[in-house]
């Protein structure tokens, strides 16, 4: 159970097959492994010892995957940096993680000086780009050219493999640890559910610093397939790439799916090679699904739900995306517990609730994190008796299908009724004048909490509080409708683009206690 084992297997079976394609550059397994073994040597020469972290701040590329594999090959730990963060956030995470080697690509060179100046530790910066490295940085390519290949350190099992930072909506980012064993097992049990397409060619567009994308990377390495890599999501480039490279498998979030299928040039491209489309982050609406299935006939859709802390938990398989399943609403489920995964919905005491009742999703699996980096209290709060408490509110139906309703802490209890902010936000968002909105609970003398909507209007559009409330009453029960509506120019967002609801709550709750279930 060590992640580089996949490379050894491919070297034995298909050394001359292509493993990565990035902007026209093809690498075979034997080239890739040679580069990995050399880069690992270079990292060791820079001082990387067993278990030391190597950071990477870069858009997706073939070099990103070489860097990840080289860190592991050399005995180190990968610390992928969130590419949406500010200098201060990047520095916070590098300091927190004691990372002192950072690989950085051209896109982020402008942040380099700020990062170096503010980081507590002296950083070795490695420039991963095609041109010359800046004078004060090492060159990724030169390191590879000059280093001697080292043997695979073969760290594995409970050895740490990766520290990924999440959060930002609830305080400081936390470093989620995954070991070789948890990553490997999380991937392999997912593959037992959703087997590799033999001869598959996957297109990576989601950022590699996310577990969703990184775990797909590992799946496809385990299966010995071809990785076609785009620096980031861009619909036209994606359409072109699918056609040119005969891509078999895509992974997207519903918003991207919509952007792709509604692209004006969609019909100009031959996308007939695509056999699978995996999506996540949220459920997909019946309308988008229907439209996508029409435009991409023969493609299998599946929805996966998971956390950085857990790897994939549930999968809603292709058969729940057809017309019959859609009529039953099954396409809105996140799916059922995968092979090897235990899943429960529990109340505040940790007891399982009856089917159909909303509670917190808890998970136990060999893919669950051993904890947060240097945060034993957060670890103890999240992991109890081996069960990861996800903070997600959901119910389960009679057949074990999971339906996510809200983050537990965003649920509102008004007059004894549960109100799911996500549901109300969906309705408020359908008002034609609303650009963005967030729904929170605010203290109320009679109802305990009252539903409160914070709304940003579309530029040049108007709507009153009464109009928003009237719109809501057309679609949802009265107790779910906002009692009050507040208009703002913008919502406070985290680095990852999530609304910072705690900032919205502060003025209402300051000095009062809000019990988070």
Closer CB to a copy of itself, 5 or 409, in the complex? 5
Q: Is 356 in the site for a copy of itself (CB under 8 A)?
A: no
Could you say whether residue 334 binds a copy of itself (CB under 8 A)? no
The contact mask relative to a copy of itself for 309-328 (x = CB under 8 A, - = no) is --------x-x---------
264, 236 Cβ separation under 8 angstroms: no
Chain residues 70-129 in contact with a copy of itself, contact rule CB under 8 A? none
Residue 413 makes contact with a copy of itself by CB under 8 A = no
Site for a copy of itself contains 339 (CB under 8 A): yes
Question: Beta strand 387-396 with 359-365: parallel, antiparallel or unpaired?
Answer: antiparallel
- Contacting a copy of itself within 360-379 (CB under 8 A): 366
Q: What is the DSSP string of 31-78?
A: HHHHHHHHHHHHHHHTT--TT-EEEEE--S-HHHHHHHHHHHHTT-EE
**Cβ distance 76 to 45 under 8 Å?**
no
Work out whether 1 is an interface residue with a copy of itself (CB under 8 A): yes
Torsion of CA 279, 495, 205, 427, to 10 degrees: 30
Task: Confirm or reject binding of residue 498 to a copy of itself (CB under 8 A).
Answer: no
Residue 511 is a binding residue for a copy of itself (CB under 8 A): no
Question: What are the tokens at 224?
Answer: 């010995």
Distance CA 148, CA 83 (A): 31
Rounded to a whole number of angstroms, the minimum distance from the CB of residue 242 to a copy of itself is 25
Position of tokens 């959060």?
A: 167
- Is 337 a binding residue for a copy of itself by CB under 8 A? The answer is yes
Q: Judge contact between 438 and 504, C-beta under 8 A.
A: yes
User: Least distance (Å) from a copy of itself to the CB of residue 155?
Assistant: 13
Cβ distance 395 to 377 under 8 Å? no
Q: How far is the CB of 342 from a copy of itself (least distance, A)?
A: 6
> Cβ of 498: how many Cβ atoms within 10 Å?
16
Farthest CA pair distance, the chain: 72
x-or-dash pattern for a copy of itself, window 217-256, by CB under 8 A? -----xx---------------------------------
- At residue 461, what are phi and psi to the nearest 5 degrees? -105, 155
**Cβ-contact 39, 253 below 8 angstroms:** no
Binding mask 265-304 for a copy of itself (x = CB under 8 A): ----------------------------------------
Tokens describing residue 358: 């909303």
Distance CA 433, CA 412 (A): 25
How does DSSP classify residue 332? G
Q: Is 195 in the site for a copy of itself (CB under 8 A)?
A: yes
Q: Does 512 bind a copy of itself (CB under 8 A)?
A: no
Q: Which is nearer to a copy of itself, 29 or 209 (CB)?
A: 29
Q: Is 341 a binder of a copy of itself (CB under 8 A)? A: yes
Q: Which is nearer to a copy of itself, 153 or 188 (CB)?
A: 188
In this structure, how many other beta carbons lie within 10 angstroms of the beta carbon of residue 268?
Answer: 11
Are 101 and 55 within 8 A, CB to CB? Answer: yes
Name which position in 36, 57, 87, 191 contacts a copy of itself (CB under 8 A): 191
Phi first, then psi, for residue 313 (nearest 5°) are -100, -50
Which is closer to a copy of itself, CB of 336 or CB of 471?
Answer: 336
Query: Shortest Cβ distance from residue 45 to a copy of itself (Å)?
Result: 27
Binds a copy of itself (CB under 8 A): choice among 14, 107, 124, 285: 14
**For 21, how many CA atoms within 13 A lie in the half-sphere containing its CB?**
16
Q: Token pair 């990840």 is at which residue?
A: 68
486 in Cβ contact with 463 (< 8 Å)? no
9 binds a copy of itself (CB under 8 A): yes
* Residue 446 sits in the site that holds a copy of itself (CB under 8 A): no
> What are the helix and strand counts (H, E) for the chain?
16, 27
Of the pair 184, 420, the CB lying nearest a copy of itself is at: 184
Q: Give 312 or 343: the residue with its C-beta nearer to a copy of itself.
A: 343
Instruction: Note the residues at the interface with a copy of itself (CB under 8 A).
Output: 1, 5-6, 8-9, 12-14, 184-185, 188-189, 191-196, 198, 222-223, 317, 319, 336-337, 339-343, 366, 396, 399-400
């Amino acid at each position: 159970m060590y992640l580089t084992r996949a490379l050894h297997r491919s070297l034995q079976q298909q050394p001359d097959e292509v493993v990565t394609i990035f902007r026209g550059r093809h690498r075979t397994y034997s080239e890739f492994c040679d580069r990995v073994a050399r880069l690992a040597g270079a990292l060791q020469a820079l001082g990387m010892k067993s278990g030391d972290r190597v950071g990477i701040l870069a858009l997706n590329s073939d070099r990103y995957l070489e860097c990840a594999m080289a860190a592991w090959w050399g005995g180190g730990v990968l610390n992928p940096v969130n590419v949406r963060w500010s200098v201060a956030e990047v520095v916070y995470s590098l300091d927190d993680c004691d990372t002192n080697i950072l690989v950085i690509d051209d896109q982020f060179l402008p942040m380099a000086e700020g990062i170096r100046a503010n980081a507590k530790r002296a950083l070795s910066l490695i420039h991963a780009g095609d041109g010359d490295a800046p004078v004060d940085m090492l060159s990724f390519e030169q390191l590879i050219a000059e280093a001697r290949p080292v043997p695979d350190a073969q760290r594995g099992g409970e050895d740490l493999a990766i520290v990924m930072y999440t959060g930002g909506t609830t305080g400081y980012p936390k470093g989620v640890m995954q070991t070789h064993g948890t990553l490997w097992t999380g991937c392999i049990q997912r593959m037992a559910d959703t087997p590799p397409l033999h001869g598959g060619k996957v297109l990576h567009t989601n950022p590699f610093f996310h577990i969703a994308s990184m775990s797909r990377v590992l799946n496809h390495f385990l299966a010995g397939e071809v990785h076609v890599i785009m620096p980031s999501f861009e619909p036209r480039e994606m359409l072109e790439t699918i056609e040119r490279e005969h891509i078999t498998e895509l992974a997207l979030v519903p918003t991207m799916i919509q952007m792709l299928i509604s692209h004006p040039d969609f019909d100009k491209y031959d996308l007939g090679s695509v056999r699978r489309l995996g999506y996540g982050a949220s459920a997909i609406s019946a309308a988008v699904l229907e439209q996508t299935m029409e435009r991409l006939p023969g493609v299998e859709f599946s929805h996966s739900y998971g956390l950085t802390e857990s790897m994939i938990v549930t999968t809603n398989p292709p058969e729940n995306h057809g017309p019959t399943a859609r009529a039953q609403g099954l396409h809105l489920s996140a799916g059922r517990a995968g092979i090897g995964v235990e899943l429960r919905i529990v109340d505040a005491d940790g007891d399982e609730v009856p089917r159909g009742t909303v509670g917190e999703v808890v998970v136990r699996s060999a893919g669950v994190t051993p904890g947060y980096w240097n945060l034993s209290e957060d670890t103890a709060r999240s992991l109890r008796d081996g069960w990861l408490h996800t903070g997600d509110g959901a119910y389960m139906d009679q057949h074990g299908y999971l339906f996510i309703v809200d983050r537990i802490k965003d649920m509102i209890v008004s007059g004894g009724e549960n109100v799911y902010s996500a549901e109300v936000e969906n309705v408020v968002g359908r008002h034609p004048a609303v650009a963005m909105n967030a729904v929170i609970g605010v203290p109320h003398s009679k109802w305990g909490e009252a539903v409160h909507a914070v709304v940003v209007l579309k530029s040049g559009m108007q709507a009153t509080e009464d109009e928003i409330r009237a719109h809501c009453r057309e679609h949802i029960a009265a107790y779910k409708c906002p009692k009050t509506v507040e208009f703002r120019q913008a919502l406070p967002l985290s680095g990852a683009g999530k609304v910072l609801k705690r900032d919205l709550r502060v003025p209402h709750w300051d000095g009062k206690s809000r019990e988070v279930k």
